[in-house]
Amino acid sequence: MFRRLFTIVPLFFLLGSIVLLVFSNIVGASDKSVLKKFYWLQADLSGLTNVPFSTARWTSYRLCGVDGNKNANCQGSKPAFPFSPRDNFGRDSGIPNGFIDDRDVYYYLTRISFAFLLIGLFFAVISLLSLLISICLPRFVAAIGSLLTFLSLLFTITAAACLTAAHVKGRREFNNNGHSAKLGAVAFGVLWAAVACLIITFVTSILASISSRRNTSNEYYSKEAAGGSAAAAQHDSNNYEEPTLYDDPQAAQPATDTSKFRFFRVRPNKEPVEPVDSVDSVE
């Protein structure tokens, strides 16, 4: 029962993590359907120059405006769109100085996180395939699936940490300079939920591998014990001898040298019995 449970649970959470990672990778790819509610950071840009929106939202592909709490009037799509107001608006637009001084921090953290999310999704899909194959093939495939899950978790949690650090730092910079800003709760919730699912998948896949190895070793020792018992029974049957017809224990003893010369032994003399005279006995 536990063995089946450890097999189903990793698959369930790995499927969930893949779905969540897909949504995390396409944040801002479209301003339609459910994706129009996904963004990483929203900031009030009033008072700045050369900005396309008074309130802007940063996504992974573009900069968008806001209309009824939804992404609207988005710019042209560009993969790995950086969260870097200096590059987005220019240094003379009146942005806070923190975005100018730490330009590389914001720029590279957000672009690296985009690449790491794609790598994490790739390893998650390969791990799913290996876990499905491990149901039919030998158990070492499950260990490979655990390794792939760990790689997916490593890249995904690194991307989530980089992305969160960059936007939390940017939110603080906007708020400290009088521009209200907030994080996209939906997008970050999906991202960290994917991390949690990968953690559960990795732990349960390790437990499944340990359980399968333990069951395999128990089956091996059971077969060895059964084989040893059968060999012992076969050995006893081969060494079995039919009992002799004599019950005398001395008859089963091997003959000695003295028993060969039993004919020449001197038997003890017996005193003869004198006959009784019938006449004398009458008198």
User: Angle formed by the axes of helices 140-176 and 185-238, to 10°?
Assistant: 160
**Distance separating the N- and C-terminal Cα atoms of the chain:** 110
Q: What is the pLDDT of residue 130?
A: 84
Q: Taking all residues of the chain, what is their mean pLDDT, rounded to a whole number?
A: 79
Statement: residue 84 has pLDDT above 50:
yes
Q: What number does CATH give the domain 21-214?
A: 1.20.140
- The proportion of the chain whose per-residue pLDDT surpasses 90, expressed as a percent, equals 48
Q: Judge whether residue 69 has pLDDT over 50.
A: yes
If pLDDT is split at 50, 70 and 90, which confidence band does 246 have?
Answer: very low
Q: Is the pLDDT of residue 281 over 80?
A: no
Q: What is the pLDDT of residues 189-227, one digit of tens each?
A: 999 999 999 999 999 888 877 765 554 444 444 555 555
Mean pLDDT of 173-178: 93
pLDDT band per the 50, 70, 90 thresholds, residue 143: confident
Are 15 and 159 in contact, with CB atoms under 8 Å apart? no
- Average pLDDT rounded to a whole number, residues 254-273: 50
Evaluate if residue 75 carries a pLDDT over 80.
yes
Alpha carbon distance 179, 219 (integer Å): 67
At 122 the pLDDT is 97
What pLDDT sits at residue 261?
Answer: 46
- Write down the pLDDT at residue 137: 61
Q: List the one residue out of 63, 114, 55 whose CA is nearest residue 84.
A: 63
